[in-house]
């Protein structure tokens, strides 16, 4: 059974860095588009960063561009999100997602597999 498992969340201070990891089980990262989403309290889930099935066409939401960096490790079959210069407004539950479609883009409904989420809290 396909599964995504996030790890790496926690409580940090503004300006700190944090790295999230997404372990992929049952499917190969090499063949799937993947992305990170986040959901803050009382808000809808929103796209953070993602890439298409080739690992290219990397896209970032404007709110994180230049601070967050998404990557994949084909050997480990994982995806990561390096988050730098964290801000209190980055506080959210972060989800990794995988899509059977080659270029799913930003809409959450384009992704068919989701992890359980990992909480990131940034204090001011």
- Look up residue 56 and give its two tokens: 């290219």
CA 82 to chain CA centroid, nearest Å: 9
pLDDT one-digit tens code per residue, 4-57:
999 999 999 999 999 999 999 999 999 999 999 999 999 999 999 999 999 999
Residue 101 pLDDT > 90: no
Residue 103 pLDDT > 90: no
* Whole-number Å distance between alpha carbons of 66 and 58: 12
Whether 70 and 81 have beta carbons less than 8 Å apart is answered as: yes
């Amino acid at each position: 059974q396909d599964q995504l498992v996030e790890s790496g969340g926690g409580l940090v201070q503004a300006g700190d860095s944090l790295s999230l990891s997404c372990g992929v089980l049952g499917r190969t990262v090499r063949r799937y588009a993947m992305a990170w989403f986040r959901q803050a309290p009382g808000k809808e889930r929103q796209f953070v960063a993602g890439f298409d099935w080739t690992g290219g066409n990397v896209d970032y939401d404007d709110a994180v561009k230049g601070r967050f960096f998404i990557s994949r490790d084909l050997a480990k079959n994982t995806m990561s999100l390096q988050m730098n210069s964290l801000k209190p407004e980055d506080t959210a539950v972060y989800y990794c997602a995988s899509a059977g479609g080659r270029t799913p883009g930003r809409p959450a409904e384009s992704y068919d597999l989701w992890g359980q989420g990992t909480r990131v809290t940034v204090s001011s």
